[in-house]
A and B are shown apart, each in its own frame.
Chain A
Amino acid sequence: MSVAAATPPVETQEAAAWQRALERERAAALEFWRRFRKHRLAVAGGVVVLLVVAMGVLAPWLAPHDPAQANFLKRFRPPAWMEGGSWEHPLGTDQLGRDILSRIMWGARASLTVGAIVITLATTVGIFFGLLSGYYGGRVDAVIQRVVDILLSFPYLVLAIGLMAVMGPGFMNMVLALVYKEWVTPCRVVRGEVLAAKNQEYVEAARAVGAGDAHIMWREILPNTLSAVIVVATLRVAWVILMEASLSFLGLGVQPPTPAWGSMVAAGREYIFQAWWLATFPGVAILVTVLGINLLGEGLRDALDPRLRE
């Protein structure tokens, strides 16, 4: 029998390789789902996060009232289950007679948007510098890591507040102030992963067939760091939402009349003696959202990359 007759055609070999790769990915996804599903609290966290996202996205349709519409005749209405309350305003009304439930629903948008934008920007910047730092090492690494060290020398909120004091309050300024330090975390994670990966066989193989640095960094190493990046990004969203709420509480973040949970708690603080519900419910919204994201993040970590538990 000739060699040509024994070897399958090239197209068949490629198709088989694709098929094997596909099966490997499917098996990995199933393994991930099997591990994640076992973590019941993480599943609960995921459900909470989905509900909060749905609440924010669907706020224009779900919210029973216009969140900015004041009604001075309905100021300080208590929640429905208290004396004087009604189901027209299930969580009561604020000092301007605005519906608290509607403002909480709209407020989800501010928190989730800040969380998503900050983490996307910070992760992109962090991946870029983390790859450069880990891959090239030497002076590039030294310079990037000194900048990281300097930024790590500031307590998170202190730096954000300092920057906000300079730039002034507002949504975009807050996003920038948070990104300014947040990129450091993904940068360090990616750098660590790159350092571990850059001497692996698959990287050497890519180098041997003539792949350039950019190709090796972006196409070979980066995909292998993504599970760690996803886990860290998820856990950091929770932190960023807490920071956004803290800045808004101090009057430096999202500005009135746009509803934001932190500024709602701050406004409610003035009336804590006469209307406890003003500050309480937006705080519960922050707590539930951050807890949900933390639980989801821990589940993702255990399922995707248990090493990060260290």
Chain B
Amino acid sequence: MSAAQIINRLFQLIPVVLGVTLIVFALMYFTPGDPVEVMFAGESAATEADLERYRRELGLDQPFHVQYLRFLSGLLRGDLGMSLVQRQPVRDLILSRLPATVELTAAAILVSLLIAIPAGVIAAVRRYSAVDKVGTVGALLGVSMPDFWLGLVLMLVFGVHWGLLPISGRVPWGMEPQHITGFYVIDSLLTGNWPALKAALRHLLLPAITLGTSMAALTMRVTRSSMLEVVHQDYITFARAKGLSGTQVVLRHGLRNALIPTVTVVTLNIGVLLGGNMIVETVFAWPGIGRLVVESIYNRDYTVVQASVLVYAVTYVTMNFLADVLYTLLNPRVRL
């Protein structure tokens, strides 16, 4: 894929991203109730004149298109607005929660790959065997399981019943590693803070398994079917004819090619994981963006909800774009 094609594809994203910003802005604009009243809720000292003045300052008295253009120009400057409840720039709130969400998502992807790729390969190599059938039913179970419920069951078994793993937060209070990147695992590695590293990994495990399960199910099915396609190719027969062992053929020749669709599916599903984040972060009191959104809905902090939905959507669009690019780069027979 040439640079020109990538740039062309990027240009195609512009109307989509504009549409996304329009929907997100409309969400806020048509929200019943007055944002200024939410801001000054409980402050009896604020008079109607104060509220009116504040509305004018925020431009809320302007027509829809003026407010939308102002919103867009703010976005271009990285301004996501002010939190109505916390009275802080929304960008700062989101940035402070971002590392927790990214860390959890990365761990969930890792967990899902560790389960899905071996399971998918074994199911394909031993097609129609008991292992394959168990894998197929397991994958269906994985996509049918509500993640909030799986999270609670894991908490109950590993946290409450066996007491093996912690069930909420990122590390115990007071054990936070020195802030460098905001990713606790990386920060504790960089500072050589081993107790914090151990605590961060232990706290990550249950939420990552919860979030990664449905993705593992999907990835396993894709790996299985692409492996099945690959094992019937001539080059695999040739590799066998050369006298290579079964494992060598499967791993060196089969899996490498079969992983192309898997990589695409994983990239595409990072966006889906973002939706799951809201639930899993709520269940495990994980201080990420997902939990911020849910808290903001309860607090009627609509600017935070609006900006977070926008961040999620833009990430999702970016991931879809990357999936397209990756698929083409990995598989030169495909042209965008």
Contact = CB atoms under 8 A, between A and B. Distances in A.
B143 A265 contact: no
Contact of B30 (A152, A166, A283): A166
A283 B282 contact: no
B309 A250 contact: no
A158 B309 contact: yes
B297 A146 contact: no
Contacts of B313: 153-155, 158-159
A276 B19 CA distance: 45
Sorting the interface of chain A by its residue count into under 10, 10 to 19, 20 to 34 or 35 or more gives 35 or more
A1 interface: no
Interface string B209-249: 00000000000000000000000000000000000000000
Interface in B174-191: none
A306 to B, nearest CB: 13
Contact of B156 (A164, A251, A272, A295): A272
Contact residues of B: prevailing secondary structure: helix
B140 A286 contact: no
B24 A265 contact: no
B216 to A, nearest CB: 16
A41 to B, nearest CB: 7
Interface in B1-57: 15-17, 19-20, 23-24, 27-28, 30-32
B197 interface: no
A153 B302 contact: no
A76 interface: no
Interface stretch (A7-15, A182-190, A238-246): A238-246
Contacts of B149: 265, 279, 282-283, 286-287
Given A150-B19, A272-B152, A156 B27 contact: no
A150 B23 contact: yes
A157 B145 contact: no
B134 interface: no
B107 interface: no
B309 A166 contact: no
Contact of B305 (A41, A146, A162, A168): A162
Given A153-B317, A246-B146, A279 B16 contact: no
A126 to B, nearest CB: 18
Interface in A143-173: 146-147, 149-150, 152-159, 161-166, 168
Interface of B: 15-17, 19-20, 23-24, 27-28, 30-32, 137, 140-141, 143-149, 152-153, 155-156, 160, 271-272, 274-276, 278-279, 282-283, 293-294, 296-298, 302, 305-306, 309, 312-313, 316-317, 320
23 contacts: A146-B19, A149-B16, A153-B16, A153-B17, A153-B19, A153-B316, A155-B274, A158-B293, A159-B309, A161-B294, A161-B297, A162-B24, A163-B27, A166-B31, A249-B146, A252-B297, A262-B146, A265-B146, A266-B148, A282-B149, A286-B149, A287-B141, A295-B140
